[in-house]
Amino acid sequence: MSALALEELSALTAIYCQRDECAVLAVSETDGITLRIQTSVKGLLDSDILLKLSFHLPVSYPSSLPNISINSEQLTRAQCKDVKERLLEQAKRHLSEPMVHELVLWIQQNIKHIIGQSETSVCNEKSTLSRCISTEDGICTILLHLDHMRAKAKYVKTVEKWTSDLRLTGRLMFMGKIILILLQGDRTSIKEYLILQKTSKVDVDSSGKKCKEKMISVLCETKVQTEHKRFQAFEVKEYSTLDELQKEFEAAGLTDLFSEFVPALLK
């Protein structure tokens, strides 16, 4: 085990000295050093993300790269994989020198960019999203279907915050067991909304434990046409009948959207 690795370990325990910030898991003359650093970073919309970064420093470190693993309840597996790959790329630039602290600082500064690039994981992961919206710029309308809401009050409040932060307008609509989210706004903002919807623990499971949204589908995405009326705000509404819900779509010039997708949800 190199003297540089031991000196770095001593420095890391001094730098990350708060409770649970740094945990030395193993120190061995034959297997090297294993430690975990826990740090809070700011994600999209300045949401808090707790990262657990595990580093295994082999006996040949820093002449060889560390093994890195990433864990976070706020990120998807695909996003954790992306973070790991980017950290390993960065580690190559520091080969032959102590690098753990530099890697932690780098991820703190670049996590938003990495998550933004990982938005395609919303489509690539096994999910019920039928497709992702296109990458063209412009204003569009997107219709989402939610299977259920167990923690309704919290869920609604979260959706209202996201739409406000991203300057999206539209409706969160309840009609019997049907739950729809109709959004209008810039494509980039809607893409960010979908990332939040899929990566945040917005609901609870049957045991009451916080969970991510897994039962959401994109029914339709289209550019805002001249016959469409732009929503002026985002509102939460409940409808007693299908006719009431249909009138909401008609008022927005979205009759065809309603006819094609909504009645089928009743079957």
114 or 23: which leads in pLDDT = 23
Give the per-residue pLDDT at 125: 40
Where does the pLDDT of residue 147 fall: very low under 50, low under 70, confident under 90, or very high at 90 and above? confident
Beta strands in the chain (DSSP E): 22-28, 32-42, 48-57, 67-71, 139-146, 169-175, 178-186, 203-204, 210-211, 216-223, 234-238
Give the per-residue pLDDT at 44: 65
Q: In this structure, which CATH number among 1.10.8.420, 3.30.70.100, 2.120.10.70, 3.40.1050.10 belongs to the domain 130-266?
A: 3.30.70.100
Mean pLDDT, the chain, integer: 85
pLDDT, mean of residues 88-116: 90
User: Which residue ranges does the chain devote to CATH 3.30.70.100?
Assistant: 130-266
Tokens representing 19?
């409770």
Tell me the fold of 3-120.
Ubiquitin Conjugating Enzyme (3.10.110)
- Look-up: residue for tokens 């009138």? 247
Where does the pLDDT of residue 226 fall: very low under 50, low under 70, confident under 90, or very high at 90 and above? low
- Residue 124 main-chain phi, psi, to 5 deg: -75, -30
Tokens representing 172?
């969160």
CA distance 143 to 94: 46
Tokens representing 194?
């979908």
